[in-house]
């Protein structure tokens, strides 16, 4: 009996990225991107010194992996085209080996009843552009738009779901505020310029896609982390949550859907005298080229309170000058990842999108649970018994179902990720997949309990 029934043609599947799954092989023609370079110069920053060359070999094994997608109930799957693979120098000559690979990947998915969702940028800046400043440089925006158009023209006859960026706040936070990614800066002015250029590039790519009159949709993937005040009856806590939301969610959500930046954010940036460089016509491009489809990544909430600790002026202004983070007593945690598990957050996001963003067509584009040391849950038959992941997904899906019942235009659910993959500085520390990848046995794949369960959910269009 199905208790939680989902709408017809609901998208069941998962998401991954090119740089985290494909690997690098002799003769593949791939150029160096920022992650390749960072690993070359500082391999010790990566868990167990495992770099992007040791991603899960999807470039070679995608046909077998697509069969495993079918076995785990996928009717859709999001991947990313690597800019540095398709156009090794970022501009100029297109790599024919990459064209052949992506064409075959797309065709193989379609032939097996799996709709390809393609993302254009997943933190993999071609190194020739990173050397010029990456997203700090306006030249990168122009090159990205050419790259996007190249992708649309090569693959747009078959790919009907496109996304300009995955989590554009991450290059801002990780590269220019909190030193998680290269170039490891702490510079709010640079962070603001990077975020602005990413948003402009997204709108320009949307414009090009619509001008080509292709018969699909184009959107963006945003990690929306609800900002909850410590005390909803405390005006200062509420104000802190509004500012955090404007900085980390609405900074990309508002311009993507509404075509405008949140006034709370603009006021702060002006007050700090850190307005990005804006050329004539930019804001009109952003205003008139909003997305068709919103992808929502949700992992954890953000809990904040009014600023109580002294402001640290060591690195200049920072977002945390306007709020303090708050640890809610009794919160449920994923101890492996250090993240709070709060299933209702996914409902709150979907409700917000319905009530405040025109109920734009959307889907859950990522949601998942990273677990360290998952091998200890492998049974005598060699199957990983990840019932904790089944519980995590099902409890979130209950809230997705509730939001849909209340009218939210949510069209699907993709988990992160299909198979265990390489993850930036964490490498293979935390495993997320429906499918296990055993590095000690030549990247051998095996479906976990959660993958078998997800097939039943997909077949029944509910659970």
Kindly state whether residue 1 falls inside one of the protein's structural domains: no
Sign of the C-alpha dihedral, residues 404, 286, 126, 27?
A: positive
Domain limits for position 207: 11-460
Cα 188 to Cα 119, 172, 258, 268, distances in angstroms: 27, 9, 25, 12
User: Which of 179, 176, 215 lies closest to 198 in space, CA to CA?
Assistant: 176
pLDDT digits (tens, 9 = 90+) for 319-341: 999 999 999 999 999 988 889 99
Kindly state whether residue 332 falls inside one of the protein's structural domains: yes
DSSP letters along 229-276, please? ES-TT-HHHHHHHHHHHIIIIIHHHHHHHTSS--HHHHHHHHHTT-PP
Are 258 and 290 in contact by the 8 Å Cβ rule? The answer is yes
What are residue 175's phi and psi, to 5 degrees?
A: -90, -25
H helix count then E strand count, the chain: 16, 17
- Residue pointed to by tokens 């077998």: 64
Dist CA 77 CA 69 (whole Å)? 8
SS (H, E, C) 162-206: EEEEECCHHHHHHHHCCCCCCCCCCCHHHHHHHHHHHHHHHHHHH
> Which pair of structure tokens corresponds to residue 53?
């060359």
Kindly state whether residue 2 falls inside one of the protein's structural domains: no
Dist CA 100 CA 98 (whole Å)? 5
Kindly state whether residue 5 falls inside one of the protein's structural domains: no
pTM above 0.85? yes
CA angle 190–193–199, rounded 5-degree value:
140
Kindly state whether residue 438 falls inside one of the protein's structural domains: yes
Q: Is 105 left (phi over 0), alpha (psi -120 to 50) or beta?
A: alpha
Q: Which residues are catalytic?
A: 366
| CATH number of the domain within which 269 lies | 3.20.20.80
Kindly state whether residue 244 falls inside one of the protein's structural domains: yes
- Residue pointed to by tokens 């959307």: 362
Instruction: Spell out the per-residue pLDDT of the chain, length 463, in tens.
Output: 899 999 999 999 999 999 999 999 999 999 999 999 999 999 999 999 999 999 999 999 999 999 999 999 999 999 999 999 999 999 999 999 999 999 999 999 999 999 999 999 999 999 999 999 999 999 999 999 999 999 999 999 999 999 999 999 999 999 999 999 999 999 999 999 999 999 999 999 999 999 999 999 999 999 999 999 999 999 999 999 999 999 999 999 999 999 999 999 999 999 999 999 999 999 999 999 999 999 999 999 999 999 999 999 999 999 999 999 999 999 999 988 889 999 999 999 999 999 999 999 999 999 999 999 999 999 999 999 999 999 999 999 999 999 999 999 999 999 999 999 999 999 999 999 999 999 989 999 999 999 999 999 999 999 9
Kindly state whether residue 4 falls inside one of the protein's structural domains: no
Kindly state whether residue 6 falls inside one of the protein's structural domains: no
Total number of domains constituting the chain: 1
């Amino acid at each position: 009996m199905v208790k939680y029934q989902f709408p017809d043609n609901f998208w069941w599947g998962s998401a991954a990225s090119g740089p985290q799954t494909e690997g690098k092989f002799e003769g593949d023609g791939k150029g160096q991107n920022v992650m390749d370079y960072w690993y070359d110069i500082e391999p010790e920053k990566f868990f167990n010194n495992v770099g992007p060359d040791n991603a899960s070999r999807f470039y070679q094994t995608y046909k077998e992996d697509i069969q495993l997608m079918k076995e785990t109930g996928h009717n859709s799957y999001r991947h990313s085209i690597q800019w540095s693979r398709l156009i090794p120098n970022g501009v100029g000559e297109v790599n024919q080996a990459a064209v052949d690979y992506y064409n075959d990947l797309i065709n193989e998915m379609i032939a097996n009843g799996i709709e390809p969702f393609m993302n254009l940028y997943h933190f993999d800046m071609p190194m020739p552009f990173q050397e010029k400043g990456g997203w700090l440089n306006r030249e990168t925006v122009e090159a990205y738009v050419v790259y996007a158009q190249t992708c649309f023209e090569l693959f747009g006859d078959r790919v009907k779901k496109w996304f300009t960026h995955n989590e554009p706040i991450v290059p801002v936070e990780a590269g220019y505020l909190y030193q998680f990614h290269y170039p490891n800066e702490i510079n709010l002015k640079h962070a603001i310029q990077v975020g602005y250029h990413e948003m402009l590039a997204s709108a320009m790519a949307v414009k090009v896609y619509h001008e080509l009159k292709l018969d699909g949709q184009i959107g963006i993937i945003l990690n929306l982390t609800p900002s909850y005040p410590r005390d909803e009856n405390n005006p200062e806590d509420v104000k802190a949550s509004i500012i955090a939301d404007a900085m980390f969610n609405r900074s990309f959500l508002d311009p993507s859907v509404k075509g405008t930046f949140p006034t709370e954010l603009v006021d702060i940036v002006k007050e700090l005298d850190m307005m990005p460089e804006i050329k004539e016509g930019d804001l009109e491009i952003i205003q008139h080229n909003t997305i068709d489809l919103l992808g929502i990544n949700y992992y954890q909430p953000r809990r904040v309170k009014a600023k109580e600790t002294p402001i640290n002026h060591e690195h200049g202004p920072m977002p945390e000058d306007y709020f303090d983070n708050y640890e809610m007593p009794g919160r449920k945690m994923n101890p492996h990842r250090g993240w709070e598990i709060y299933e209702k957050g996914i409902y709150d996001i979907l409700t917000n999108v319905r009530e405040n963003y025109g109920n734009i067509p959307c889907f859950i584009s990522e949601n998942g649970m990273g677990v360290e040391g998952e091998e200890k849950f492998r049974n005598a038959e060699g199957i990983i018994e990840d019932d904790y992941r089944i519980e995590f997904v099902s409890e979130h899906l209950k809230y997705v179902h509730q939001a849909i019942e209340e009218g939210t235009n949510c069209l699907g659910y993709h988990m992160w990720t299909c198979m265990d993959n390489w993850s930036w500085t964490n490498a293979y520390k935390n495993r997320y997949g429906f499918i296990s990848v055993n590095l000690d046995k030549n990247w051998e794949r095996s479906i976990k309990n959660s993958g078998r369960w997800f097939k039943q959910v997909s077949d029944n269009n509910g659970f």
